[in-house]
Amino acid sequence: MTAADETSAVAYDAALASLVRFHADLMPKLGALREADPSCAMAHVLAGAVPMLAYTAKLVPAARAGLAAARHATANAREQLHIAALDAWTRGDIDAAIAGWETILASHPRDLLALFLAHNSNFWLGRPQDMRASVERVRLQWSPAVPGFGAMLACRCFAQEECGDFLAAEPDGRRSVAEDPGNFWATHAVAHILEMQARRAEGIAWLGGLAPHWGSGNNLRHHLWWHRALYHLEGGEMDVVLALYDAEFRNLASPLTIAMPDLHIDVQNAASMLARLEMRGVDVGGRWEELADQAEKKIGDTVSPFTLPHAMMALAATGRGGAADRLLAATQEAASGADRSPTRRPILAAAVLPAMRGVRAWREGRPADAVEAMRPALGAFTTMGGSHAQQDVLEQIFVHCARQAGLGQDVAMAVARFAGRRRMPVAAFSLWRDAG
Ligand SMILES: [Fe+2]
């Protein structure tokens, strides 16, 4: 790698380790490195990638600033590929960016940044098979002696989990956490396995045992608390869910939330949990209001497709019909070309708009309309990104509305879809459903 000296390379490794472990000290580490060694091209690439990972239009200029700095530095062939991939990403050509990272991995299978960014981008496009293929292609080039091995295992675990191969997934995640309890991505991947297999008591114990390590985490720690709340929700412990909502994953007084109250993953956590609670008849008080405020401020930002139906949940829950209209119109405009991203535009049209219309109809007491809007797009929803556990909220809304509207065939169809994803026999799932 291009750097002034070994100290810079070591500092880059430390910053990269923070990124892949989802630690909050990434930016100070990176800032110090860029100041100490402006010749380090990869430091600038990383500084461009980090704002992109916030998935919001307002931070794309910061990403382009990192890109511009990287272009001014001397770069070897691998670094040039990173610069080109970052350029494609900032232009919204996410397919080209992923192809670039895969090109790097073909010759440099231990390039952890390329591996992580391909993994993350495939995840936010709902492409678990590509996540798995990406890590499987390189994993034999890794060994426990290679720094970042645990991060590779975490990616492999999560990729296998999202492909539904829970048995193959679990050992890698547990191994990674055993070696480094501060690897939040591995912690998270195992939490998903336990969620998908309805191993709730194990999930609560797993996350409860690891929570003391989360002090150094970035916003992923909110998502880990969200996962914990999900186990409690499914166990019927609604008071615990609301307490975790206020104290942990939507704590408005926490510095992470204050710094970025509209962060995509945080908004998804919060809106999705409130929707799930309300479908179960729980009074969530005034919690939607601040989420609706954030959603209104962000109308026109389509960089995170999966966040948009969550924004609609908040606007519709608070009766902000005018804002809901504006959100739909802005998304329609983006799908028609205002969003310059060739990767996102078809997703906005095929998945986001139907999901938003369905969510709105549900909230406005038109369950048959919600089913009509969502039914043709159910298979496309995963392209908005997010995990199966996160995506579940949209299908829950679909089933909820289908039951309200007396559309039995739609209920049966959705149940068969759930059962397949969780590797459960349909009959068992139906019994579970019929039990209420
Ligand atoms: Fe998750």
pLDDT (tens digit, 9 = 90+) per residue, 237-284? 999 999 999 999 999 999 999 999 999 999 999 999 999 999 999 999
Q: Over pLDDT 90: what percentage of the chain?
A: 94
342 Cα–ligand 1 center, Å = 26
Assign 431 a pLDDT band (cuts: 50, 70, 90). low
Q: Where are the alpha helices (DSSP H) in 139-181?
A: 149-162, 166-179
197 Cα–ligand 1 center, Å = 14
Query: Which of residues 8 and 434 earns the better pLDDT score?
Result: 8
230 Cα–ligand 1 center, Å = 10
Assign 420 a pLDDT band (cuts: 50, 70, 90). confident
195 Cα–ligand 1 center, Å = 9
223 Cα–ligand 1 center, Å = 6
User: Under a CB-based contact definition with an 8 Å cutoff, are residues 358 and 401 in contact?
Assistant: yes
189 Cα–ligand 1 center, Å = 7
191 Cα–ligand 1 center, Å = 8
293 Cα–ligand 1 center, Å = 24
Instruction: List residues bridging with 217 in a β-sheet.
Output: 23
Assign 436 a pLDDT band (cuts: 50, 70, 90). very low
162 Cα–ligand 1 center, Å = 10
Say what the alpha-carbon torsion angle 81, 82, 88, 89 is, to the nearest 10 degrees: 160
User: Under a CB-based contact definition with an 8 Å cutoff, are residues 66 and 49 in contact?
Assistant: yes
What is the amino acid identity at position 317?
Answer: A
375 Cα–ligand 1 center, Å = 25
Assign 416 a pLDDT band (cuts: 50, 70, 90). confident
Tokens representing 331? 């998304």
Gyration radius (Cα) of the chain, Å: 21
366 Cα–ligand 1 center, Å = 30
192 Cα–ligand 1 center, Å = 6
Q: What is the pLDDT of residues 53-89, one digit of tens each?
A: 999 999 999 999 999 999 999 999 999 999 999 999 9
Q: What is the pLDDT of residues 87-132, one digit of tens each?
A: 999 999 999 999 999 999 999 999 999 999 999 999 999 999 999 9
390 Cα–ligand 1 center, Å = 7
412 Cα–ligand 1 center, Å = 26
Assign 426 a pLDDT band (cuts: 50, 70, 90). low
160 Cα–ligand 1 center, Å = 14
- Distance CA(144)–CA(415), nearest Å, equals 42
Tokens representing 87? 């350029």
Residue 419 has pLDDT above 90, yes or no: no
- Distance CA(76)–CA(425), nearest Å, equals 53
Residue 163 has pLDDT above 80, yes or no: yes
**Residue 333, by phi and psi: left (phi above 0), alpha (psi -120 to 50) or beta?**
alpha
Tokens representing 275? 């929707």
- Distance CA(434)–CA(436), nearest Å, equals 5
Residue 428 has pLDDT above 70, yes or no: no
What is the amino acid identity at position 34?
Answer: R
Q: What is the pLDDT of residues 277-306, one digit of tens each?
A: 999 999 999 999 999 999 999 999 999 999
Assign 425 a pLDDT band (cuts: 50, 70, 90). low
* Average pLDDT, integer, range 144-160: 97
* Average pLDDT, integer, range 222-251: 97
187 Cα–ligand 1 center, Å = 10
- Distance CA(57)–CA(302), nearest Å, equals 7
**pLDDT given for residue 244 in this prediction:** 98
Assign 427 a pLDDT band (cuts: 50, 70, 90). low
**pLDDT given for residue 417 in this prediction:** 84
Indicate the burial class of 119 (C-beta count within 10 angstroms; 0-12, 13-18, 19 or more): buried
Query: Which of residues 32 and 358 earns the better pLDDT score?
Result: 358
- The pTM of this model reads 0.95
Q: Across all residues in the chain, what is the average pLDDT?
A: 95
Give Cα 93 to chain centroid, integer Å: 19
140 Cα–ligand 1 center, Å = 26
